Structure 1
Amino acid sequence: MNLSTLSASLAPLKLRSCLIQQQGKLIFEHYRDQQTASELAKINSCTKSILSALICIAMDQGLLPGPAAPLRDFFPQIRRDADPRKQDITLEQLLTMSAGFRWKEFGGANSFPKMTRTPHWVNYVLEQPLADEPGTRMEYNSGISQLLSSILVQATGQSTASYAEQVLFGPLGIRDYDWESDPQGIHTGGFGLKLRPVDLLNFGQLYLQQGVWKDSQIISGRWTARSVQPVMHTEPPRHGGYGWHWWTDALSCSSAAGESSLVDYYYARGYAGQFIYVVPELQLVTVLTQDNKRGKNNPPADVFRDYIVPLLGSI
């Protein structure tokens, strides 16, 4: 992988960080300034993929039942809802954003900003009507992630952050973090976590290694594999697929014979340009962090596809 021109190419983009690791070796490291490497910064919706890992670990430990477990097991009040379909929404449908709730993440009558202004986020989400039959369509919904964080608290008997320290952050060497919570003290499942770029890199490497870290199985290979498989098609304008709070897609690479082929990858994605890309076939993990808040008329560059993928070379 020829990275000799990458630093110059990235300079105008004003990234906070760009880390590339291949076959377990850090091969490229770029920071906006000296402080960026060590300072905590919001990872926004990459928090969702961290939460997915915690759900998988809780299932490994027998604290949570399997992905077919229904919503009524965690929120008994849903049995009284006028729509009986709600109580049969499964854990997997929450993880794949296909629960069917009427929701517009930003804007509209039922939205993420509106949820954050209510006194009880979990109840707000549960009270939303269904727009789709559960399991039939993905609708991006950070409220669903808050339900999952609440479920994790119920299952483990401790806060989401405390459980993360015990089963994920501790093993990965993550000592410093900051994590927002809702009015009931439940840590935000869909956003609000602050980590360092290297923490994101290690998290991606954990998944590349199928849940193994330093000879310890942190997450079972069964759930790491299943969680990053596409289950739902993403809603426009996004493309690719969606697994258990992970995005999935494919990129075009050249073979040794010069033929083009598609290589699958999966990634965590956060607002303003936070990404963790994992490409198993290339043994590659890439982390990008940014402060990009440009609007629709001035979209941000796709740094991974436009600047890094062309340098991957033949496979």
Structure 2
Amino acid sequence: MNLTSLSDNIVPLDLRSCLISQRGQLIFEHYRNDLTMRKIAKINSCTKSVLSALLSIAVDQGTLPALTTPISMFFPELNADPDPRKKEITLYHLLTMTPGFRWTEFGGLNSFPKMTRTPNWVNYVLAQPLSDPPGTRMVYNSGASQLLSAILVQSSGMPVAEFAEAHLFKPLGIETYDWEQDPQGIHTGGFGLSLRPTDMLKFGQLYLQHGKWENKQLISKEMVSSTIKPAITIDAPNRGYYALHWWMDAYSLDDKDDSAPTLAYYYARGFGGQYIHIVPSLEIVTVLTNDKRQKEQPPRDVFRQFIAPLLMQQN
């Protein structure tokens, strides 16, 4: 695959990193400097996709019950909530961002910053009123991810990071990381994980390989398939679909022509330009990381603007 021209577009953006692998082989590598190659950095909401993987492993092990299980099994206080619909919220609803809580991540209600300023994040989320019946509308909600992190602690009997080390990080050879915690010591489910770009690439490769790594099935094919299956359509300004803490979309050279060829992909996305894209048809994984301030950020979607068009030429 000829990606020679990509450097001309990527270098001026001054990203922390841009990595592309095909069939497990690195075919493009850009770092701002040697330090960004070696140093861990926050992957922000890409943390959600890592949490999805951990929950999938827990389901495979039988540590966590089926995703159709109501979360009142873990938070029995919901059974006494004045709104009986809260008892209908399931693990699946949390993973697909459809629990129905009245929530505005940033702006408006500013729910996310408010949560992080409370002494108990889980209690804050559970106390939010419902604006929609569970399962009917996707509203981006890092609080839902924090509930899932707390549930994993309950079901596994160990901290989330410890569970990750044993069942995901160590098998992938991820030795250096950092993970923030809430006031109760629960690792943050929706953000707060720091990794190196090469370790993000390993995580993407694991999903490209349907959960298999070095002849060992870390996540069952069934769980990988179910977690990257479109669950609900995303409202504008976002596009595509949301799966189970993964995003899904397709690129076309002509969005106005329904018959034009498309390139389907799914991805983890973190604030400020952190991405892991998986393109199954081309056996491609890409990693993009950035640390610029908002006013200095490059185009919002570097993958669609610069990488996808080149991949389409090879498709």
| TM-score, scaled to structure 1 | 0.95
Please tell me the residue identity of whatever aligns with 2:164. A
Quote the offset at 1:107 in angstroms: 2.2
Partner of 1:229: 229
- Whether 2:257 is the aligned partner of 1:290: answer no
Q: Secondary structure at the match of 2:198?
A: helix
Stretches of 4+ moved more than 3 A in 1?
none
Does residue 46 of structure 2 align to residue 46 of structure 1?
yes
Q: Give the share of equivalent positions with the same residue, in percent.
A: 60
Q: State the alpha-carbon separation in 2 of the partners of residues 127 and 100 from structure 1.
A: 12
Spell out the pairing of 1:51-62 with structure 2 (5 A cutoff): 51-62=51-62
* Partner Cα separation in structure 1 for residue 299 and residue 261 of structure 2: 26
Distance 1:182 1:308 in 2: 36
2:142–2:190: 8 Å Cα contact kept in structure 1? Answer: yes
How far off is 1:2 after superposition? 1.4
Q: Is the 8 A contact 1:252 1:261 kept in 2?
A: yes
Equivalent residue number for residue 308 of structure 1:
307
How do 1:56-205 residues align onto structure 2 when only pairs under 5 Å count?
A: 56-109=56-109, 111-205=111-205
Residues 101, 29 of structure 1: CA spacing in aligned structure 2 closer, same or farther, 3 A cutoff?
Answer: same
Of residues 68-77 and 302-311 in structure 1, the stretch that sits farther from structure 2 once superposed is: 302-311
Q: Contact 2:231 / 2:242 at 8 angstroms: preserved in 1?
A: yes
Indicate the SS of the match to 1:44: coil
Supply the AA of the counterpart residue of 1:214.
Answer: E
SS in structure 2 of the partner of residue 19 of structure 1: strand
C-alpha displacement of 1:261: 1.4
What is the aligned partner in structure 1 of residue 18 from structure 2? 18
Cα distance between partner residues in 2 of 1:236 and 1:8: 31
How many Å apart are 1:23 and its aligned residue?
A: 1.2
**Would you say the 8 A contact 1:253–1:314 is kept in 2?**
no
The whole-number CA distance in structure 1 between the counterparts of 2:201 and 2:12 is 23
- Equivalent-residue separation in structure 2 for 1:260 and 1:19 (angstroms): 28
Deviations 1:266-287 (A, max 9, x none): 0000000000000101100000
Q: Give the Å deviation of 1:236.
A: 2.0
Counterpart residue type for residue 261 of structure 2? S
Gaps of 5+ in 1: none
CA contact (8 A) 2:273 2:300 kept: no
Is the 8 Å Cα contact of residues 16 and 31 (structure 1) preserved in structure 2? Answer: yes
Residues 197-251 of structure 1: CA deviation (Å, up to 9, x unaligned): 0010000000000000000000000010110111011122101100000000011
| Counterpart residue number, 1:220 | 220
The one-character-per-residue Cα deviations of 1:90-124 (angstroms, maximum 9, x if unpaired) are 11010000000000001223510000000000000
Contact 1:273 1:289 in 2 (8 A): yes
- Please give the alpha-carbon distance, in whole angstroms, between the structure 1 residues aligned to 2:56 and 2:179: 20
2:38 alignment partner, SS class: coil
Equivalent position amino acid for 2:179 in 1: W
When the two chains are superposed, the root-mean-square deviation of aligned CA atoms in Å is: 1.5
Q: Whole-Å Cα distance in 1 between the matches of residues 5 and 90 of structure 2?
A: 47
AA aligned opposite 2:31: Y
What CA distance in whole angstroms lies between the structure 1 residues aligned with 2:109 and 2:300?
Answer: 31
Instruction: Kindly provide the amino acid, as one letter, of the partner of residue 164 in structure 1.
Output: A
- SS of the residue corresponding to residue 37 of structure 1 reads helix
CA contact (8 A) 1:265 1:280 kept: yes
- Number of corresponding residues: 310
In the alignment, structure 1 residue 210 sits paired with structure 2 residue 210: yes
More displaced, 260-269 or 242-251?
Answer: 260-269
Change (3 A) 1:60 1:298: closer
Q: What is the Cα deviation at residue 260 of structure 1?
A: 3.7
**Separation of aligned partners in 1, 2:71 and 2:298:** 38
Q: Tell me the secondary structure at the aligned position of residue 189 of structure 2.
A: coil
Contact 1:102 1:110 in 2 (8 A): no
Task: Tell me which amino acid in the other structure corresponds to 1:97.
Answer: M
CA distance in structure 2 between the aligned counterparts of 1:270 and 1:298, rounded to whole angstroms? 13
